[in-house]
Chains A and B, each alone.
Chain A
Amino acid sequence: MPSITSFNLAHVHMLLNHVPTVGAVVALGLLIVAFVRRDESLKLVGLEVLFAIALLTLPAYMTGVAAFQKVRNQPGVADAAIRLHQDVALYGFTWMEFAGFIGWVALWQARRRGRAAAGMVGAATALTAVALVVMAQAANLGGNIRHPEMGGAVAPAIDSAEYLAAKISYVMVNSPWAWPASETVHFLGLSLSFGVLLAVNLRILGVMKQVPFGDVHRLLPWGMLGFVANLITGMLFFVGQPGQYLDSAPFYWKVVFLMIAGANFLYLTVFKKAWAAELNLADKSMAIVSLFSWLVVLYAGRMLPFIGHAF
C-alpha cells in the first residue's frame, strides 16, 4: 500500500523551498505598496499573505532536512555546503516565524479596531525584510549544493559540531532536562491552544450563542501563546532528532493537519462573517474542520512512538 512516507521529500523541498523567498517578496511588496498608497485593506492582505508564508516555511524547512538525509552521501555533494545552507535556513525560519507572529498580532488588533496599528504593520514589514534577506542567502547557499558550477561562495570548512543545528541537537540529546522540559512545555501549550480553539469553535457551532463573537475573539492571543510555545519546543525536538520524524507517517499527517489548522486560525482571526450572529453551514463546517484538525494533530503527535518510532 502506498504510504504518505513514500513521497520523495527531496522533491517536495525543491517545490517548497521557493515559498519563503518568493512569498516574502510578495508579502513585502504588498505591504510597501499599501504603505505608499495608504491603503488599509491592502495592508491586511499583505499581513494575511505573510501569515500563510510563515506557516508554509515550516514544511519548507522540514523537507529540507529530509533532502539533506537523502543526498548527504552522494558524490559531488559537499556536506559543509548543506550544513551551512541548513543553518542559514534555520535563522531565516526563525525571522520568518517572528514576522508572521507580529503580522498575526497586527491582524488580530485590526479586526477589533477596524484598522491595523501603523507601528505593528511597520514592525511586521521590517521583520519580513530581514527574513527575506536571510532566506535569500539561504536560497543562494542551497543553490550551491547542486550547482557549484555557478560559482557561488565555497562554504568554509569548520567542524561539523560547530553548526547551529548540531549544537541544538547536542543539547537536546545530551542534556538530562532539555527534552523532558520541552515536552512538558509542549503539553501545557497544546492544552492552552486546544482549550481556546474549543471555546471559539463551539461559539461558531452555536454554543454561547448570546455572546457576541468579538468577545470570544479576545481569547485568540492565548491560543496563539500556546501555539508559539509549541512551535518553539516542536522545532527543538525536530532539530534535536530529525531522523526519528522524517520517515514517520504520523509526523507527516501532523504537519499536514497543522497547516489546515493554521489556515483555520487565520480564518477565525480575520473573517468578517464570523462576527455575525447567525452563521451558516459553511462556517460551521469550518469549525468542525478546525476541531477535527487539532484532534488529528494531537492524535498523530501522541502516536509518534507507536506508528512511527519517535519518542
Chain B
Amino acid sequence: MGLLVWLESLPLSVWVHESPSIWAQPTVLTFHTMGMAVLVGASWVLDLRLLGVSRKVPLSAFHWVFRTVAISLIVNLVTGVLLFMARATLWGAAFPFLIKILLVVASAATLLPIRSYVLRNPDQLEVSGQARLLAIASILAWSLAIASGRLLAYTVAG
C-alpha cells in the first residue's frame, strides 16, 4: 500500500488526476481508447482472416498487423500506466481491475502463437484447426477485456 500511496503522490500522477487541463486525464484516456480501437481492431482483422474471411489473401500480407499491434500496445501501456498512477490506491486495491489486467495480458498473449503461425506459413491459404481455435480465443479474450475495462467505470470508479 505504501508503494501505491507513493506512486499516487508523484507530481505526474497528481497532474494527470487533478489538472483541469484537457491534456491531462481526458487526453490520456482518449489515447487509451484510440489505442484500444487500433490494437483490438487490427487483431480482429487477422483473427477474421484465420477464420476464413478474405481467405484468398496469403497470411504474409498481414505482417502490418504485428507492427500496428506493437505500436498500439506501447501507446496503451504508457497511457494505462499513467491512468493507474493517477489513482494508484484505487486501482491497486480493486479486484475488477486485476481481472481486467489479466484479461488484457491473456488477449495479448494469444498474439504470440498466432504470430509464429503466420510467420511459419507465409503463403498458406488454408488455416489449421489449431490456428482457428487461437483466433476464436483471441476474439473472445479481447471482447472480455474490453467489457471488463468499460465496466470498471461502474464497478470501481463509479
Contact = CB atoms under 8 A, between A and B. Distances in A.
A218 B45 CA distance: 11
B42 A198 contact: yes
B3 interface: no
B154 A180 contact: yes
Contacts of B53: 218-219, 222
A54 interface: no
Interface stretch (A20-28, A33-41, A119-127, A297-305): A297-305
B34 A215 contact: no
Please classify the interface of chain A as helix (H, G, I), strand (E, B), loop, or mixed, using the class held by over half of its residues.
helix
B61 interface: yes
Contacts of A216: 54, 57
A202 B68 CA distance: 11
B35 to A, nearest CB: 10
Contacts of A202: 64
A184 B150 contact: yes
B29 A302 contact: yes
A305 B26 CA distance: 9
A292 interface: no
A68 B147 CA distance: 35
Contact of B146 (A191, A212, A219): A191
Interface in A167-187: 180, 183-184, 187
B38 A219 contact: no
Interface residues on A, range: 20 to 34
Nearest to A298: B34
Contact of B45 (A183, A188, A195): A195
Interface stretch (A203-211, A238-246, A266-274): A203-211
Interface in B56-74: 56-58, 61-62, 64, 68
B42 A199 contact: yes
Contacts of A212: 56
A223 B64 CA distance: 19
A194 B22 contact: no
A161 B18 CA distance: 40
Contacts of A306: 22, 25-26
Interface string B91-117: 000000000000000000000000000
Contact of B30 (A187, A191, A303): A303
Q: Which 4 A-B pairs have the closest CB atoms?
A: A195-B41, A306-B26, A191-B40, A194-B37
Interface of B: 22, 25-26, 29-30, 33-34, 36-38, 40-45, 48, 53-54, 56-58, 61-62, 64, 68, 142-143, 146-147, 149-151, 153-154
Interface of A: 180, 183-184, 187-188, 190-196, 198-199, 202, 207-208, 210-212, 215-216, 218-219, 222, 295, 298-299, 302-303, 305-307
7 contacts: A180-B151, A187-B36, A187-B146, A187-B150, A191-B142, A218-B53, A219-B48
